[in-house]
Amino acid sequence: MSDAIVLKYDVPGDDFTRAGEASSDIKQKLRKMGIPPEAIRKVAISMYEGEINMVIHAHGGQITVEITPEDVDMLLEDHGPGIADIEQAMQAGFSTAPEDVRGLGFGAGMGLPNMKKYSDEFSIESEVGVGTTVHMKVRF
Amino acid sequence: MTIRELADKGIFKVVCAGDDTDREISGVFCCDLLSVVMGRGKADAAWVTVMGNINSLAVLSLTDMACIVLAEGAQMDAVGIARAETQGFTIFATDQPIFETAMQIQALLDA
């Protein structure tokens, strides 16, 4: 679409001090564009959870965000270990996060469920040893 | 009650004063698991937690809560304080337990 804004972010792996930079940046941009606050909140939550997952599990990844007048489209791609059982990973409370990560307040098994809950469209594809791709859309 | 009015009560230590001290606090939210806070945190709430790290600041910002109140003597680490200062976030701290801290704020909001 000609009036779409496309933004790309590199999410650094294993660096919790920088997790959230991409979602904070998108949030600020959407706010300046006058997008409704509830839609911004949905984008911020789903994208932050995706970022955190990339940091914890996948040694980082890439996020491509496309903003159109109607919606925000987020594509999250990583080359991490992949998810063997997506159905299990989608269950609230299921987590494979290591103990040190739990000590930071993560690993409650809410990441993927939150991403699904707060996006209007959600799909996930994963292959063990290859990586994981998550596609999310939030409509205004 | 604004952030500044809460600070002026003198019941909590002000770790970082923040930029937006005229902002109204409209409720209290308590939880330490950041993914739960991400999903449930209420905009403009005072967030009472023991999680004092840079990720709590990201969650504060993304959920649009008004400020962090660190309870149980929990401290914000140095990286977090530096980030809070550059981004203008307000952080309070107290030795009180989470429940009592939340009740204190709620009582002030109800007054």
Question: Does position A1 have pLDDT exceeding 80, yes or no?
Answer: no
- What are the b/e assignments for A39-57, b being 16+ CB within 10 Å? bbbbbbbbbbbbbbbbbbb
CA A89 from centre of chain: 15
Residue pairs between chains A and B whose CB atoms are closer than 8 Å: 71
What pLDDT is attached to residue A16?
84
- Classify residue A2 as exposed, middle or buried by CB count within 10 Å of its CB (0-12, 13-18, 19+): exposed
Subunit contact B56:A105, Cβ cutoff 8 A: yes
Please identify among residues 77-106 of chain A the ones whose CB lies closer than 8 Å to any CB of chain B. Answer: 104-106
Q: What is the CA radius of gyration of chain A?
A: 14
Strand segments, DSSP code E, in chain B are 13-16, 27-30, 45-49, 67-70, 91-93
Q: Which residues of B touch A45 (CB under 8 A)?
A: 38-39, 62-63
CATH (domain of B51)? 3.40.1390.20
**Global confidence as pTM:** 0.87
Domain of A78 in residue numbering reads as 5-139
Subunit contact B34:A20, Cβ cutoff 8 A: no
Considering only the beta carbons, identify the residue of A19, A111, A114 that sits closest to B55. Answer: A19
B68 at A interface, C-beta within 8 A: no
Whether residue A139 contacts residue A39, with contact meaning beta carbons closer than 8 Å, is answered with yes
This model of the complex carries an ipTM of 0.77
B38 at A interface, C-beta within 8 A: yes
Average pLDDT over chain A, rounded to an integer: 93
Tell me how far apart the alpha carbons of residues A19 and A50 are, in angstroms, rounded to a whole number: 10
Q: Report residue B75 as tokens.
A: 């401290």
pLDDT digits (tens, 9 = 90+) for A123-136: 999 999 999 999 99
Q: Of B69, B58, B60, whose CA–CA distance to B42 is shortest?
A: B60
CATH (domain of A48)? 3.30.565.10
- Count structural domains, chain A: 1
Subunit contact A24:B53, Cβ cutoff 8 A: no
Question: Does position A4 have pLDDT exceeding 70, yes or no?
Answer: yes
What pLDDT is attached to residue A18?
85
Subunit contact A24:B58, Cβ cutoff 8 A: yes
- Count structural domains, chain B: 1
pLDDT digits (tens, 9 = 90+) for B18-30: 999 999 999 999 9
